[in-house]
Structure 1
C-alpha cells in the first residue's frame, strides 16, 4: 500500500509582506467568514528548493527552472566565433526542444522549463560538440537533450512539458497554501525617504506605501513516499536525504518577500509529522472557525491537537505513527523530527 508522510506546521510571522498579490499587498483568502493572510504553495516551494538547506543536502541533484536555455547556447556559440545567423538558427533549434519558442524572440521559451542536472550536462555537451565541429546539432542530439532524470525538486514537485509527455514527472509532494489561523487586517505602511544631499528642502525625497500584516499560519504538506522514491530511481539514500531536507526547509525557511523591509524570519513553533498508509487528510478544519483571543500561537496548537484527536476517534487511527515538536513547550528536537520523517 502507498505510504504517506504528512506534515502540519504552525508558524508565527511578525508584520510582513511575504507573498504579494497583483496590487503589491499580502495575499489573502476568505475562510470561515473572515479575511486571512495567505502564502501560495508556489511561493513556499520556491523558497524551499532554492534554500541553502536544499543546496547543502542535495547538491548536484537540484534542477533549474528557466526560459533561457536557447539563449545560453546562442551566447556560447557567439563567444566561440560562430556567425550570428548560424548561432541564432542552431540555438533556436535547441530552445524548441524544451517548448514553444516566442515568435518575437526564437531563442526564448514561452514557458519556464524545469531541467535536471543530467539534462543540463547533456545540453553543455551538445553545445561543446557543435562548437568543436562548427555544425548544426543533429536530430538525434536534439532528441537526447531530454531524458530520464532524478532531480530531487522535480521528483518532489513534478514538471510538465507540453508535447513531450514521456518526460513529464508526477509530483510526489503536495503543498497547500498556508493560511492564517485567525482574522488579519492588511495595513498600509506609509514611508518616506530623505535626500541626504538636499539641504534646502525639509520635505521627503520619496513617499510611498507598502501593505503588511501579521499572522500565525497553518501549513499542510502531503508526501507520497513511494512515488518520491520511484521518481528518484529507487534510490533509498537519496529519498531519505530529500525527505530530511524538505522537513528542515519547511520548518525553518519562509518566503523572502520584502525581507529587507520587515526582517520577517521565522521558524515553525509547532510541527506534527504523521506516517502511514491511511488516506491523507489536512487538519485545516481546526481553523475554519478563526482562532480568537490573545494567544494565537498556543491556541492554534490546542485547536490542531483537538481536531487530530477527534478525527482519530471518529475514523480510527489516521496514521500509523506520529511525532511532534513544540517550541512553546520546549518539546522535541528538529533532528528527531527529521529522522522520524526520513526513516522508512
Structure 2
C-alpha cells in the first residue's frame, strides 16, 4: 500500500474575487443546499507552482508548459542556417513526440469529419505554416527533456540531417520536473504514428476545489474612474463606470499526496521528493490565488492545518461542512467540525491515519518548522 500525506487547510479571505467565472464573478458551487464560494483546483495549483516561493525551493526542477515547442525548435533550426522547408519538417518530427500537432491526422474513424477539420486547419496553415508546429494541447516539458530537445537540434544542424527515429525515442529523461511529477501530464498523439512513444505521467498529488464552509452571497462593487484632467467645465461625469462581484469566505481545501508515486515519478530521487513535499506544503499554506489581488490585496495564510500520514485509503473531511457553519465563530466552529468528523471517522472505520500533526494560527499552536519536518519524514 502506498504512503499518503493528506493536508486539510482552513484559509480565510477578506472581500475578494480570487477565481472568476466566464462572467467575471467569483466562482460558486451548491453544497449542502446552499451556495458556497469556490476556488478551482486548477487556479490553486497554478498559483502554487508559479509562485516565487515554490520556484526558489525547487530551483532547476520545474517544467515548461507550452504549445509552442515546435516554433522554438524551428527558430533554432533557421538560426542554424537550415532551409525553411527542412526546418519546419524537422521541427514537426521533434515537437510531435510531445503531443499531436495542429492539422495532423488524428487517426479518427470518422473520415468525413476529419477531412472537414483538416480543410479548415489547412486554410489557416496556408496563411501561416508555423501554425502546424503548435501542439494542440499544452505540453509539460521537464528541464531534462528541454535540454535533450535542444541538444538534438544542435546535432541535426551540425550534421545537416533530419532527426532519427531512435533519437526521438530517447528524448524522455528519467529525472522529471517536480510540477509534472506532482500534477501529472496527459499528451495526445497520432495513433497511426507508431514511432511516437508515450510520455504521460500519473499525478502524485490531488487537490480539491477550495469551498467555503458557510453560505455566501456575491456582492457587487460599483466603481468609477475619474479623469484627472477633467475640470468639470463641460462634463462632471466619471471617465469610466464599472461593476465587479466579490465575496469573503473561510475556505476548506484538501490535498492528497501519494508519496510512493511521487518518488517513482522523480526517478526514485527520495531527496528531491522530500524537497517537493516540503515546498508544496509551505506554498499551499502561504500562497494565495492571484485573481484581482491589486484591487483587493486578499493575501492570506492558512489559519488551521491538519496533516496526516499513513497507508490508509485517503479521504477528504469536506463532509464536516455539508451542513454549513452558520454561527459568527466561523474559525472556531470550523476547526471543531473538522476535529469532530475526523474523530468520528476513526471510531467507525478505525484509525484513518498513522500519524497526525496540526497547526493552529488562531491559538498559536504548532509551528511551520515542525509541520514541514512531519510531512517530509
TM bucket, shorter chain: over 0.9
**Cα distance between partner residues in 2 of 1:320 and 1:238:** 24
**Cα distance between partner residues in 2 of 1:215 and 1:165:** 46
| Residue 177 (structure 2) pairs with residue 151 (structure 1) | yes
Q: Flag structure 1 segments of 5+ consecutive residues without an equivalent.
A: none
| Residue 336 (structure 2) pairs with residue 302 (structure 1) | yes
**Cα distance between partner residues in 2 of 1:203 and 1:124:** 57
**Cα distance between partner residues in 2 of 1:257 and 1:211:** 12
For the Cα contact (< 8 Å) 1:218–1:284, is it kept in 2? yes
* CA deviation vs aligned residue, 1:73-109 (integer Å, no higher than 9, x gap): 1222333444433333332332222212223311211
For the Cα contact (< 8 Å) 2:18–2:290, is it kept in 1? yes
Q: Flag structure 2 segments of 5+ consecutive residues without an equivalent.
A: 104-124, 126-130, 190-195
**Cα distance between partner residues in 2 of 1:8 and 1:153:** 20
**Cα distance between partner residues in 1 of 2:350 and 2:22:** 44
Q: 1:172 aligns with which of 204, 207, 213?
A: 204
- 2:44 corresponding residue in structure 1: 44
- 2:146 corresponding residue in structure 1: 120
* CA deviation vs aligned residue, 1:6-36 (integer Å, no higher than 9, x gap): 1000000111111111111111100001000
- 1:215 corresponding residue in structure 2: 249
**TM-score scaled by length of structure 2:** 0.87
**Cα distance between partner residues in 1 of 2:102 and 2:243:** 36
Map 1:124-143 to 2 at 5 A: 124-143=150-169
Deviation at 1:147, TM superposition (A): 4.0
**Cα distance between partner residues in 1 of 2:198 and 2:159:** 31
For the Cα contact (< 8 Å) 1:148–1:167, is it kept in 2? no
**Cα distance between partner residues in 2 of 1:273 and 1:288:** 21
Look up the SS of the partner of 1:216 in the other structure: strand
Superposed CA RMSD = 1.6
Deviation at 1:131, TM superposition (A): 3.1
**Cα distance between partner residues in 2 of 1:150 and 1:183:** 41
Question: Which stretch shows the higher mean deviation, 107-116 or 51-60?
Answer: 51-60
Map 1:227-246 to 2 at 5 A: 227-246=261-280
- 1:66 corresponding residue in structure 2: 66
* CA deviation vs aligned residue, 1:265-286 (integer Å, no higher than 9, x gap): 1110000001111111110111
Please identify the structure whose Cα radius of gyration is greater.
2
For the Cα contact (< 8 Å) 2:169–2:197, is it kept in 1? no
- 1:100 corresponding residue in structure 2: 100
Deviation at 1:124, TM superposition (A): 1.3
| Residue 349 (structure 2) pairs with residue 323 (structure 1) | no
**TM-score scaled by length of structure 1:** 0.95
Look up the SS of the partner of 2:163 in the other structure: coil
